[in-house]
A and B are shown apart, each in its own frame.
Chain A
Amino acid sequence: MKVRWGILAGGLVVVGGLLAVLASGFGGTTQGVSNNLLGRPAPPFAMEVLGERETIVRTAALTGAPVVLNFWSTWCQPCVLEHPHLLAAAQEFGPRGVKFYGVLYNDEPQKAERFLAEKGQGFPVLHDPLQRVAIDYGVTGVPETFVLDKEGRIAHKFIGPVSVGELQAVLRPLL
């Protein structure tokens, strides 16, 4: 059979190009592809502390110390798994000045209060009823954890459950 080199070469160029595009796409993840907020000042917020309606935490008050901001909910199993890790990290880094806050994501405050009473609470949990703050931080699901440096910039973002070891690695250089 006669080989038509011109057609073959043209086909290879087109197919090769498409494969290159696909290969570049397969390198990334489909969600949370980038977070342009990294290194930038954390979006400001003012949220009520769960169970203390009069207490409002504002970002303005958070500078001067690293902050761990953990978005979670009681219906999210990975959040349940990471809870003891967050408690341990808060126990280790709380006395060294790091402030820990949970942010309740798309959940009922009563359920969260029951959960914390049962599993232990090592830091305040803030209420974000309209998920306003979650959107400001680009949260796509829970759990997601943000670490802010002393200047209030976003130093790190964890997507999915976080362990004590991972938090230690990120927090130690920020102290």
Chain B
Amino acid sequence: MSSLPNPALLRTLLLGAVLVAALVAGGPSVAAPTDPPAADRVGVASDPAALGLAEPPALAPPDPETAKAEAERIADGLRCPVCQGLSVADSNADAAVAMYARIAELVRLGYSQEQIEDYFVDRYGEWVRLDPPVEGLHWLLWVAPALLAVVGAAAIALRARGQAPTPARPPAGTPTSGGAPAAAASAGEGADPADRHRAAVLAALGEDGR
């Protein structure tokens, strides 16, 4: 029995790997770039009013490469209506594929990102934006973490300053602002609990007859 792998098996594995690589490389693209021009299809009209858009395209029709990249970018920012937190670009759901086709079509006609987003917001509400604008009370969600960090840092700074030993502090035995007990009062003049602890340890060692 030979220990070499079967050449036919190797070929199959290699072919499989190439196929998987090809699929991964072309994976999430759900565009239908072979769609006929808008006006050629039933259900579609070419003038802005008939497209359900208030204005004509803001831009000149882009070249196919630019159009594809632009459609991907816009689809990245719009929510798939039947998914949980997925963008149109990330979802393979039928509704997302249809939305992507619509985005791609409008991009090819020269509609700008803003016009296309407005088109979807008109139909699905602000909810359709994955990154909704900051309005109303929503600013609090953005401000609160920074505010908490500042307040926390200030509180820590104040506390640290309150505990720092100061020359003006009265000597041994007086409770500090932190309310620490004067447990090591006998250990000497240090007001800092760490100093007092060290003094207490040294004193205990001394009592051992050393």
Q: Enumerate chain A interface residues (CB-CB to B < 8 A).
A: 2, 7, 10, 14, 17-18, 20-21, 24, 30-37, 43-48, 56, 106, 128-138, 140-141
Contacts and interface: CB of A to CB of B under 8 A. Distances in A.
A74 to B, nearest CB: 15
B123 interface: yes
B43 interface: yes
B82 A141 contact: yes
B95 interface: yes
B42 A48 contact: yes
Interface string B66-95: 000000000000000110000000000011
Contacts of B101: 130
Given A18-B140, A131-B95, A44 B42 contact: no
B140 A36 contact: no
A138 B121 CA distance: 9
B141 A21 contact: yes
Interface residues of B, number: 34
A18 B144 contact: yes
B123 A131 contact: no
Q: Choose among B41, B43, B121, B179 the residue with the greatest number of A CB atoms under 10 Å from its CB.
A: B43
A37 B122 contact: yes
A45 B43 contact: yes
Contacts of A47: 42-43
27 contacts: A14-B144, A17-B140, A18-B141, A20-B140, A21-B138, A30-B127, A31-B81, A35-B123, A37-B122, A37-B123, A44-B45, A45-B43, A46-B44, A47-B42, A106-B94, A106-B95, A130-B41, A130-B101, A132-B41, A132-B44, A132-B98, A133-B43, A134-B98, A137-B123, A140-B95, A141-B82, A141-B95
A128 B44 CA distance: 10
B99 A46 contact: no
A135 B123 CA distance: 8
